[in-house]
Homo-oligomer: A and B are copies of this chain.
Amino acid sequence: MDIKRLIRTIPDHPKPGIQFRDITTLLLDPAGIRSAVTQLAEPFGGGQIQKVAGVEARGFIFGLAVAMELDVGFVPIRKPGKLPWETVGEDYELEYGTDRVEVHRDAIQAGERILLVDDLIATGGTAAAAIRVIERVGGMVDACAFVIELPDLGGRSRLEGNGRRILSICSFEGE
């Protein structure tokens, strides 16, 4: 199924010249949801990965569904101070200022192969920080899967390396 046609483009949001890609219209379409979850999970089936991780907040939307499809656990990666148990964190840079992601230290066992899932990859800053924090607790991020890729922003090249596979199921380029 063509997921791309289910994604709404909002011109000049949040500022002039930016075309915002809105997944909420995809989320209203049950067949579209099912197709997206299958496409995100299928390349990683057969025991290739042991847990799915997703970053707050939109990474939570597809994260659990993909974990269920692969029959593995789900690890939430959250903003500072949101996880109640012992955490490890990583700061990362935004256009203005910095942000931070945290993970429970006991959510991932040493050597576990992780699939990172998110709705969108733009510059890849958040995903790169999520990979670092997963590696700090001993996990190996074998793959990242995104619903939408904005290739003009070059995020993919920040995440590649160590044989890591980067998948997106649709892409908006030069639009």
Contact = CB atoms under 8 A, between A and B. Distances in A.
Interface of A: 8, 10, 13-14, 20, 22, 24, 27-30, 33-34, 37, 51, 56-58, 60-65, 67-68, 71-76, 78, 82-85, 104, 107
B74 A27 contact: yes
Interface of A is mostly: mixed
7 contacts: A20-B84, A24-B85, A27-B73, A30-B73, A57-B57, A57-B82, A64-B64
Nearest to A76: B24
B58 A8 contact: no
Contacts of A62: 64
B60 A24 contact: no
B33 A64 contact: yes
A34 B74 CA distance: 12
